């Protein structure tokens, strides 16, 4: 019985080649990132969502609040022309932001200025701690 171990002797070189391909700068720079970029933060009363949408009109964006998430949908229209380089993504996009607290849906505010979308999601007062006063008899 003959066992060929030749592939195992070459194994370190094969691993080096895999890592070289993975960490090559051109591959890293072309990794897909989520679009549109968003920042989310909160304070005691609100959750704030900021999204960068340069060149889009309000009519191109749709915001929907479901039970536990905020959905940001839209479409960046493809501009015609002969491109030398195109880094800004085009086409349909969607971001789903999971919310871990109940939101007061009637008081949500959203505004857009200079390509920056700002969404203010007020937290529901139903789940906020309420101090109970103790009466003396």
CA 33, CA 39: separation in Å to the nearest integer? 14
pTM: 0.68
Instruction: Spell out the domain ranges in the chain.
Output: 34-127
CB contact set of 1 (below 8 Å; sequence gap of 6+): none
CATH topology of domain 34-127: Immunoglobulin-like (2.60.40)
Neighbour order of strands in the sheet with 38-42: 38-42, 46-52, 116-122, 109-113
98 has pLDDT over 50: yes
> Which residue has better confidence, 122 or 132?
122
CA 33, CA 63: separation in Å to the nearest integer? 21
13 has pLDDT over 90: no
């Amino acid at each position: 019985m003959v066992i060929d171990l030749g592939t195992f002797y070459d194994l370190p070189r094969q691993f080096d080649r895999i890592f070289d391909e993975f960490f090559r700068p051109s591959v890293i720079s072309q990794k897909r990132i989520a679009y549109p970029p968003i920042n989310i933060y909160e304070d005691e009363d609100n959750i704030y969502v900021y999204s960068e949408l340069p060149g889009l009109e309000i009519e191109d964006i749709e915001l929907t609040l479901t039970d536990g998430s905020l959905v940001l949908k839209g479409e960046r229209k493809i501009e015609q022309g002969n491109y030398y380089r195109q880094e800004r993504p085009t086409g349909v996009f969607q971001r789903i932001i999971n919310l871990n607290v109940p939101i007061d849906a009637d008081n949500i505010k959203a505004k857009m200025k200079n390509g920056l979308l700002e969404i203010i999601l007020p937290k529901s007062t139903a789940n906020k701690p309420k101090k109970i006063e103790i009466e003396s008899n």
